[in-house]
Amino acid sequence: MSGWDDRQEGPLRLGPLLRYVDATSATIWVETAEAAEVRVEAGDVSAAARTFRAHDHHYALVEVTGLPEGTATPYRVLVDGTQVWPDEQDPAFAEFPPPVIPTLRPGKPLRMAFGSCRVSVSHDREGTEAFGVDALRAYALRMAGLTGEPGHWPDLVVFLGDQVYADDTSPLMKEFIKARRDPEQPPWTELKDFQEYAHLYRLAWSDPANRWLLSTLPSAMIFDDHDIRDDWNTSHDWRREMEATDWWHERVVSGLGSYWVYQHLGNLGPQDRAEDRLWQRIATHDGPVELDVTDELDRLADDADQRPETYRWSFSRDFDTQARLVVVDSRAARVLQPDRRSMLDPGEVAWLDERLRGDVDHLLIGTSLPVLLAPALHHAEALSEALAQKRFGSLLGRFGEWVRTTADLEHWAAFQEGFTDVGRMTVEVASGQRGRTPRSVTFLSGDVHHSYVAEAWADPATGATLESAVVQATCSPIRNPLPAFMKGFLKVAALGRARPTGRLLAGRVPRSPLRWEVTQGPWYDNNLAVLELQEQQLHFTWARGVVDGERYDRARLERVATVDVPLGERSRVRR
């Protein structure tokens, strides 16, 4: 695909994306050029769905059931009876193996890839020199067997935010914008509406290697700020400034609406889809004309922005009794009142409280923003919130707001109420106060454009002894490297241990139930990480793409780091 030309090459516009998969079922998402019936055939089973329409685009989510457990079943996608995937007419896909649906095998140790922050730029010399090698694409080439032995595939990949950049657009996206409106007028070369979001997703997911990967590796996703705009929901002042513009409302409604279609819908398992009103409206429609959900989708997005309690973007799923994955919205559900701030509103806290329980071997918590930051950075963000909330006096309030907005200090540490809520739940579940103690509690995160591992223990004041390993594993970016001048600062920030509040903050922020230290890293490569739940340890690897010579189209995968976190009965108390 070149330039901004948006002509259709065939009936399949984008996809297929393999989304929620369990032991016997799978959901496959597509965007088509026109209203159509989409059929998926996998071995002896098949399923079909009619498309629905949103903003003159056509989508389908096909629910395939009756698949055999623990198998990789080749499949094909047909649009109105014509096979569109695998695309046997396009030479760009000739080297790739047939797409498969890999169902889960109960009891098999879970293997999960994760990462965040991936820009959609070219994979040639120019794009690589500017943004480095796309680690996801290098992983796809390895999985396809084009740059070495594929090895063991993950059971799924979890994308932890910034799947698309709506505010920092690529040259191709800028061309598309320029062809339809004046980029000298607000919102300039940032995204304006649903049509531009649809084109941005197409740029992000159309490269042949990544498109093949997304068609054969199940995925889950959660947004972060750049999916909407940098610093999204930093503070009350930030929201007030955005809402005073004449372009923000359309932007946020389009961003959340397109997120529901392109990302969120595929996160949901059968039970969650059954409870989603908009999806049930689509699934039960039996009229002769394609259902247009444009108005309903816009209302859902508008309500979710203005009244976050009306819709939940967080989701969770169990992998039998082996693991529970809880993916937390750390952007849209924030409380940003002048006199009260929290990362999560009361409904979201209650939802999370129900799911951060024991009785599983491993509790995995996906959140785009790291819960456990480098110690110095954590205390700097907590200080910025205390300043902005005038806990050091009203004269420093405006200075604190300027600091946290200018320096992007808006992680969990800058929302101490939500941070201590999650810390308390973590201590309780890891010390056996919430059912059978898991062997591990692991936070999986992105956002910060470097990767590291931190290990935590209970603050002695809690009186708790943690029997679970408590770990923060961060993988960022997939493709958007950190500016060089930041690397030295972050290396220093990772030193030492995070105390309950720090002496300066004592009495001005809640006392943290957790202490922690960075035990491995930081690493600054474009990375994709993989976690494997092994019998005696959590086994992590980080891998990057490397170009040999001029072979930009054949980046090979190279391991950056391996980290093993032992499991067992050893006490997790430190002083």
Half-sphere exposure (CA, 13 Å, Cβ side) for 162?
A: 29
Same domain, 365 and 477: yes
Say if residue 259 is in the same domain as residue 317: no
Confidence category of residue 506, pLDDT binned at 50, 70, 90: low
The lowest-confidence range among 211-225, 248-262, 418-432, 486-500 is: 486-500
Residue 502: the pLDDT is: 55
Looking at the structure, tell me whether residues 62 and 86 fall in a common domain: yes
* Whole-number pLDDT of residue 115: 98
- Do 116 and 88 lie in one domain? The reply is no
Residues 250 and 372 in one domain: no
- Mean pLDDT across the chain: 93
Q: Tell the residue number behind the tokens 């490397």, with chain if given.
A: 546
User: Which pLDDT does position 4 carry in this prediction?
Assistant: 35
Q: pLDDT tens digits, residue range 537-567?
A: 999 999 999 999 999 999 999 999 999 999 9
The confidence band for 575, taking pLDDT boundaries of 50, 70 and 90, is very low
What mean pLDDT is predicted for residues 105-129? 96
d(CA 572, CA 458): 7
pLDDT, tens digit (0-9, with 9 covering 90-100), for 175-194: 999 999 999 999 999 999 99
Full residue range of the structural domain in which residue 255 is found: 10-106+208-222+224-311
131 and 246 in a common domain: no
Q: Is the pLDDT of residue 272 over 90?
A: yes
Q: Choose the final residue of a domain: 270, 294, 311.
A: 311
Q: Single out the residue of 510, 546, 509 nearest to residue 527, CA to CA.
A: 546
Say whether pLDDT at 530 is over 60: yes
Q: What is the pLDDT of residue 391?
A: 75
* Strand ranges inside 287-431, DSSP E: 291-292, 315-319, 323-328, 335-337, 340-342, 362-367
CATH number at residue 99: 2.60.40.380
Q: How confident is the model at residue 501 (pLDDT cuts 50, 70, 90)?
A: low
Residue 168 lies in a domain: no
Asked whether residue 67 is domain-assigned, the answer is yes
Q: Is the pLDDT of residue 456 over 90?
A: yes
Q: What is the C-alpha end-to-end distance of the chain, expressed in Å?
A: 57
Say yes or no: 355 and 388 in one domain. yes
- If asked whether residues 259 and 373 sit together in one domain, one would say no
Model pLDDT for residues 442-455, shown as the tens digit of each residue? 999 999 999 999 99
250 located within any domain: yes
Q: Are residues 82 and 124 in the same domain?
A: no
Residue 230 domain-assigned (yes or no) = yes
Pair (433, 518) in one structural domain: yes
Of the residues 311, 346, 381, the one at which a domain ends: 311
CATH assignment at residue 126: 3.30.750.180
- Residue at which a domain ends, from 263, 283, 311: 311
> Minimal CA–CA distance to 11: which of 74, 117, 87?
87
Residues 496 and 405 in one domain: yes
CA atoms within 13 A on the CB side of 200: 31
Instruction: Give CA 319 to chain center in angstroms.
Output: 19
- Position 368 in a domain: yes
Full-model pTM:
0.96
| 159 is a domain residue | no
SS3 content of the chain, % helix, strand, coil (to 5): 30, 25, 40
Domain count, the chain: 2
Instruction: Tell me, letter by letter, the H, E, C secondary structure of 393-451.
Output: CHHHHHHHHHHHHHCCCCCHHHCHHHHHHHHHHHHHHHCCCCCCCCCEEEEEECCCCCE
Contact 460, 573 (CB under 8 A): yes
pLDDT bucket at 393, cuts 50 / 70 / 90: confident
Q: Are residues 360 and 298 in the same domain?
A: no
Residue 284: exposed, middle, or buried by beta-carbon count in 10 A (0-12, 13-18, 19+)? exposed
The token duo for 69 is 């457990």
Q: What is the mean pLDDT of residues 339-364?
A: 96
- Quick check: helix, strand or coil at residue 113? strand
Residue 135 lies in a domain: yes
> What SS3 state is found at 261?
helix
Q: Is residue 181 part of a domain?
A: no
